[in-house]
Structure 1
């Protein structure tokens, strides 16, 4: 964390499950959970894994939340806002099969009807999460955005192709997408679609 302002503030940090539909325990300790960050200063967070509780055959994902707690204002009638950042925190066990850099290019895309409409299914047979910054289905001169965000390991997701009444089978249809790599950079990919 970096405070590039001249004033100090408190910073509160914690780790929570990625999905709100689970009561999964978080097998990490985060230090410091609360810290005063002086003006023009830095603070490093340390994430410590307890060594058990997560699958050994795939990545796991959590949220790392960092929240600024501003100082009480000396003036009256001042609106103060606490800024919170949520960052994906991945736990990657040692010796996972495959290469994380190659995982996005190995995704399997295919056309499947969904709710009576043209649909698209993507399958991830790797041990890694694939995060998307954009996914577009190109069919002839038409472009259909697909609302994919992240695909967990060994899973698949299906999407209705909005705005497409029908797609001609065997037409010039392909997927163009950007995945986010370990450095947070968008990497462009293009893939054919199987029927």
Structure 2
């Protein structure tokens, strides 16, 4: 099932003076969903924090924009009463995904704007996008141990310093923050996530040229399965 994702879609009726703006009511229980085998189902609670009824639409899309999505979702379109909640069910077909590493998909939930009762009202369709991980059974190690397996290197390209990270684990690792610490100074590395068996490189523009790897250490803030922040330290090589 695939629906065009237009994040931040705005449906507006503009007034010359002081337009009102409708407020979004959709709240999601979690910031990510993990469907862990052998289970073939996961769920997400959607809450309507507004006092009035609203509609929401939900769909799943692949990270690489391919058409093949081995998941179903229910309900796809639903009216949700004010201050009520709905369980969104994600169902896996049971085939088609790798069994030796996690797979990443995107779960989209969009609030469908209702017709305003007032004139000169700006209506905003708020869309939220969450990571959906499919985790096969029997993967080696634990997801909480994977950050300690990361391999960090300091590289130079065209005279500029780069940070390289390799993830040998079978798990996706998402970061709230990555900091290279040099004494009392910290340098932020703009890496949001690293996939299983993948390597990512980013330029560290603020890092002084010629800095030695042994003068640095890596401080990680990793986002856990339930959205909490887990802190780790890492060693860096040149």
Tell whether the structures are fold-level matches, with TM greater than 0.5. yes
Q: CA deviation at 1:24?
A: 4.7
Aligned 8 A contact 2:105 2:133 in 1: yes
Deviations 1:17-68 (A, max 9, x none): 123xx42511100000000001121100111111111111100111101111
Q: Does 1:52 align with 2:95?
A: yes
Kindly indicate whether structure 1 or structure 2 has the higher relative contact order, using CA contacts under 8 Å at least 6 residues apart. 2
Q: Does 1:78 align with 2:121?
A: yes
TM-score (norm 2): 0.77
Question: Higher strand fraction: Structure 1 or Structure 2?
Answer: 2
**What is the match of residue 8 of structure 1?**
53
Pick the aligned partner of 1:29 from 64, 72, 80.
72
- How do 1:27-176 residues align onto structure 2 when only pairs under 5 Å count? 27-169=70-212, 171-176=214-219
Unpaired runs of 5+ residues, structure 1, are none
Count of aligned pairs: 193
RMSD across aligned positions (CA) = 1.4
TM-score (norm 1): 0.94
Aligned 8 A contact 1:114 1:159 in 2: no
* Partner-residue secondary structure (3-state), 1:104: helix
Unpaired runs of 5+ residues, structure 2, are 1-45
Q: CA deviation at 1:93?
A: 0.7
Q: CA deviation at 1:141?
A: 3.4
Q: Does 1:18 align with 2:43?
A: no
Moved over 4 A (4+): none
Deviations 1:145-173 (A, max 9, x none): 10000000001111111122324326431
